[in-house]
Structure 1
């Protein structure tokens, strides 16, 4: 029997999020407020409990992006929906979702199941980076894999879902990152986490401490300071920066929902801010969201100092995972993102591969046109 699906209120959605150990920060109600160009909708799956009472057993934030001059939309569920992905029949959940979104005018649905397929330990990734013959992380033998993820991929294909755009030359997917780097915190003391850092990381943290680098939490009024460093980072690392208003909107929306949802950290040396970063928290999962730094005074290691403070705070608050988000899948020495991968590997965590984003073309013609448009951007 399929769960019953309907639109739910913001309060119902937030209560469901609070009942889970963790969900993606892009699956909380307030994330829709961060994306004003999209229309946000909360939906929920209901099943009867032992007494026959209807119980909310799944939820999702859907972002609708309209096509100009039409009433049709792309329905996007970033890192969602939040359902029982271990159910051997995912169609029980996805069928009602597709019917609901089709009735609301969606020409296609894109989702990112929060299901990890494989893990690579830090040592394995380090060896792969050092191997001239290794070109892609995906081709390196994993240290652990989940057969349930492979079964899910087969079932999605059998239901007509299509894998989203393949990774570009830098290894990042067109939507949310398929490859991430995470530091497990659950069941480990902070000293064990610190011991797990590689020698260079531990040395750099000590350098920062000896040099007098101070890391403090900032507030809304410090976002312009963060933004100046972020713009410098964007120019140096060759990516298009988001506007300051995006971060101000994110701060206001997420913290209105939960004061602990977003934090800002600033690393300072002799009165000068050298690095800044944002941290997001939902349940027991913590994400390093955006980072920024100047090229000045790199010798005092503000980047390692700020990450260690954030990791320490996450551990103190009972986080199970400290998530450094996206990494490149490309291991080529000449790739400009390889330095970022090496930096994250130094935390001693592990690389993880999600099953990726998937599209369901309700209107195949419009979906094909949209795919071509996105490919040419």
Structure 2
């Protein structure tokens, strides 16, 4: 699979935000790394990277990242291996042996759900739940139509629905300015497409997808709760897949899913939604840090753990205080 977050369009978008982006490559490896800042100082972050065809290529990429970090004054490098035999959880030993440490949190999902398109689309449909196939084939009878757009101005359709969903479910979506810049940077370049479901010509659902060389990534989606019973989000996603197939793409990445053994996970609901389209789970190694200025990084980790312990203690004290005052 070709990972959009390691592609040239994502580099252009990051630069449009005013960020410094580094791109390097060598025999069997490449990376896109963005300069970021955290309490430790400057870091280099390679989302779903570096890309490497083998362990020796991965080591070469890691060496290049380390040299780059030293030259630009970064305290550490943050990576998310997906290739070279380092994508599975069992690769932790190989990563630790190279001086890497698990990051405090995973930046990108550790588990994703992939639908493969390199087959007849009727076979893709056959893997879906019957209700998904039936909605895709018959929702037009209820006056619902679908269209795609690469006009950045139409991102307002998705933003409106995201505001509705956020108010209903109590989550914080990415800012309007961020997604508007995504649209301005990526949609005219053909790297992002907005799919819109309409009822009698009025939008009722929208989804934004990113395209790499062989993969479409399902990035953001929301719908108008007024028409929730139509379940337009389901045939909208199937339309997105069919369009990807028509464009010659080989995979649709439905993005993060919850672990199977965690039914109460906050992602459990949309994990069930994603799995209803057929497909397979992919496990990545997660997010890892490679300290470059080791003493500075160690001090950062110590301070972070101290702050975590203090927050935990404060939470315990507050719980005890509430318990006492309620008696």
TM-score range, shorter chain: 0.7 to 0.9
Q: Displacement of 1:365 after TM fit? A: 4.5
Matched residue of 1:76: which SS? strand
Q: Secondary structure at the match of 2:75?
A: strand
Q: How does 1:1-377 map to 2 (within 5 A)?
A: 23-35=2-14, 39-46=19-26, 57-66=28-37, 72-84=41-53, 86-88=54-56, 90-115=58-83, 149=88, 152-166=91-105, 173=106, 175-186=107-118, 188-218=119-149, 219-255=151-187, 259-329=189-259, 331-368=261-298, 370=300, 372=304
Task: Show structure 1 runs of 4+ deviating over 4 A.
Answer: 146-152, 330-336, 368-371, 373-376
Output the CA distance in 1 between the equivalents of 2:261 and 2:195: 30
* Per-residue deviation, 1:207: 4.7
SS at match of 1:177: coil
- The Cα of 1:181 is off from its aligned counterpart by 0.7
Sort the Cα spacing of 1:214 and 1:368 in 2 relative to 1 into closer, same or farther, 3 A. farther
Structure 1, residues 279-319: CA drift from partner, whole Å, max 9, x if none?
A: 11111111111111122122222101210110100111111
- Aligned equivalents of 2:65, 2:181: Cα separation in 1: 29
Q: Give the C-alpha shift of residue 110 in structure 1.
A: 0.2
> Gaps spanning 5+ residues in structure 1: where?
1-21, 48-56, 117-145, 167-172
Structure 2 gaps, min length 5: 312-327
Q: Secondary structure at the match of 1:339?
A: helix
CA–CA separation in structure 2 for the residues paired with 1:202 and 1:334: 28
1:24 Cα deviation (Å)?
A: 1.7
What CA deviation, in whole Å up to 9, does each residue of 1:249-283 have, x standing for no partner? 11222245xx3211001111123311101111111
Deviation, 1:165, is 2.8
Instruction: Show the counterpart of 1:121.
Output: none
Retained in 2: the 8 A contact 1:37–1:65?
no
TM-score, scaled to structure 1:
0.73
Distance in 2 (CA, whole Å) between partners of 1:150 and 1:269 is: 44
| More helix per residue | 2
Secondary structure, counterpart of 1:194 in structure 2: helix
Q: Secondary structure at the match of 1:305?
A: helix
Change (3 A) 1:90 1:234: same
Alpha carbons of 1:298 and 1:265: their partners in 2 closer, same or farther (altered >3 Å)?
Answer: same
Q: Report the aligned-residue RMSD.
A: 2.7
Structure 2 CA distance for partners of 1:228 and 1:103, relative to 1, 3 Å: same
Distance 1:150 1:246 in 2: 32
Q: Is the 8 A contact 1:327 1:341 kept in 2?
A: yes
In 1, Cα distance between equivalents of 2:51 and 2:241: 26
Q: Relative to 1, partners in 2 of residues 1:368 and 1:213: Cα closer, same or farther, differing over 3 Å?
A: farther
Give 1:368 deviation, angstroms: 4.6
Q: 1:8 maps to what in 2?
A: none
Rounded to whole Å, the distance in 2 between the matches of 1:334 and 1:150 is: 22
Report the 3-state secondary structure (helix = DSSP H, G, I; strand = E; otherwise coil) of the residue aligned with 1:242: coil
Partner Cα distance (1:262, 1:251) in 2: 7
Q: Distance in 2 between matches of 1:67 and 1:194?
A: 45
CA distance in structure 2 between the aligned counterparts of 1:82 and 1:318, rounded to whole angstroms: 22
Give the TM-score normalised by the residue count of structure 2. Answer: 0.83
